Amino acid sequence: MYNSVCFIILSWVFAVLVFPGVPARSGDSVLKDNITVRQGDSAVLKCNVDSKVSRVAWLNRTTILFAGNEKWSLDPRVVLMENTAVTEYSIKIQNVDVHDEGPYVCSILTNKKPKSTKVHLIVQVPARITNISRDVTVNEGSSASLMCLAVGRPEANIIWKHHSPRGTHKFVTEGEYLELRGITKEQSGSYECIASNDISNPDVRTVQITVNYPPFISKARGTGTSVGQRGVLQCEASAVPRADFEWYKEDRRLFNGLNGVKIENQGKQSMLVFFNVSEEDYGNYTCVAMNTMGITNASIILYGPGAMHDVNGAAVLHRCSVCLALTVTSFYLLKF
């Protein structure tokens, strides 16, 4: 603070005593093109002089950086360019930062006539994400809000893209905040925040949204099995978190390793395996799938050989148990 006040006073002294009339003679001031540099790079500010020039100086706004070869600035990043042509009086600002942006003036005194060249330094900063939400887990139907903050000059443009678990990939919205209300399981997956401002490659980071939902049984299948053979009932449930399974015959719960059955759980699938099917094993089984979000079940019939394999070719849910009952009944009617 003291330094800048001191410099402003000095530069005023300089301007008044050394270059009387510098600020007033706008007619002799030339605005050169803006100089654009990236943050961290060096900026070279050029000023042309000739042999008639008696005094020269570089100013940052009203503060003198260099007066002739004498450095007034205390900033070590500011250096006078040497080895340049005799007709050039240039300075270099190393490791440019955003607060260096602004007008710089080269003041020249030729034959007691002041002249100045103004350059405007523009500092660019590549878009960079500074803070992004953590991965979240929400229940189906509730809301999720994601945040992605970025810096950049010019200001970073932020967009969100969604990569669903099925592999689809689409634009969602623009802006720092992404608000999802009444979230569905299809909206789970990774969300990509892309910050860009054309200064360099976009900065990309992702957040994962996990959507919890109750199980739904997508496959419930039994096979026709003869007495004395191995029989398998299959049940498959989609759920987040992953479903736990229980198997029942009528009201009786079945346990792994008891009554000649084995329960094999593999990911979203559960299998009830009969080591050696007997006549009493035929009948109505229920697969129950549950997680923290809910519970559901499906009926599966273990039937004898020659029966149709699959009702409707796919899932047999408890909602469809009536049609299943009819099919099974008709099967037995035909048989006997």
Ligand X SMILES: *[C@@H]1O[C@H](CO)[C@@H](O)[C@H](O)[C@H]1NC(C)=O
**C-beta of residue 25 within 8 angstroms of C-beta of residue 17:** no
190-193 long-range contacts (CB < 8 A, ≥24 apart) are 190/162, 190/163, 191/146, 191/160, 191/161, 191/162, 191/163, 192/160, 192/161, 192/162, 192/163, 193/129, 193/132, 193/146, 193/148, 193/150, 193/158, 193/159, 193/160
Contact with ligand X (CB under 6 A): which of 34, 184, 292, 330?
Answer: 34
Beta carbon nearer to ligand X, 87 or 130: 130
Residue 235 touches ligand X, criterion: CB under 6 A: no
> Least Å distance between CB 249 and ligand X?
9
305 alpha carbon, distance to own chain's centre: 55
112 contacts: CB under 8 Å, gap ≥ 6: 54
Beta carbon nearer to ligand X, 32 or 163: 32
Residue 71 touches ligand X, criterion: CB under 6 A: no
CA distance 47 to 209: 56
Beta carbon nearer to ligand X, 7 or 19: 7
With 0-12 / 13-18 / 19 or more C-beta atoms within 10 angstroms meaning exposed / middle / buried, residue 38 is middle
Residue 90 touches ligand X, criterion: CB under 6 A: no
Residue 291 touches ligand X, criterion: CB under 6 A: no
> Least Å distance between CB 64 and ligand X?
10
- The contact mask relative to ligand X for 110-139 (x = CB under 6 A, - = no) is ----------x-x--------x--------
- The contact mask relative to ligand X for 159-198 (x = CB under 6 A, - = no) is ----------------------------------------
Residue 57 touches ligand X, criterion: CB under 6 A: no
Residue type (1 letter), 310: D
Q: Using the rule CB under 6 A, give the single segment among 14-22, 92-100, 214-222, 266-274 that binds ligand X.
A: 92-100
Contact with ligand X (CB under 6 A): which of 11, 39, 73, 124?
Answer: 73
Q: Using the rule CB under 6 A, give the single segment among 154-162, 192-200, 296-304, 305-313 that binds ligand X.
A: 296-304
Contact with ligand X (CB under 6 A): which of 13, 30, 61, 332?
Answer: 61
Q: Which two tokens stand for residue 334?
A: 């035909």
Query: What DSSP character marks residue 7?
Result: H
Q: What are phi and psi of 133, to 5 degrees?
A: -60, 155
Examine residue 215 and say whether the peptide bond preceding it is cis (omega within 30 degrees of 0): no
Contact with ligand X (CB under 6 A): which of 118, 205, 262, 318?
Answer: 318
Q: Which two tokens stand for residue 148?
A: 């992605």
**C-beta of residue 243 within 8 angstroms of C-beta of residue 291:** yes
Beta carbon nearer to ligand X, 11 or 297: 297
> Least Å distance between CB 16 and ligand X?
21
Q: Which two tokens stand for residue 133?
A: 């939400």
**H or E element that contains 11:** helix 2-13
- Which residue ranges make up the site for ligand X (CB under 6 A)? 33-34, 60-61, 65, 73, 75, 78, 93, 99-100, 120, 122, 131, 228, 248, 276, 284, 286, 288, 297, 299, 301, 318, 321, 324-325, 328
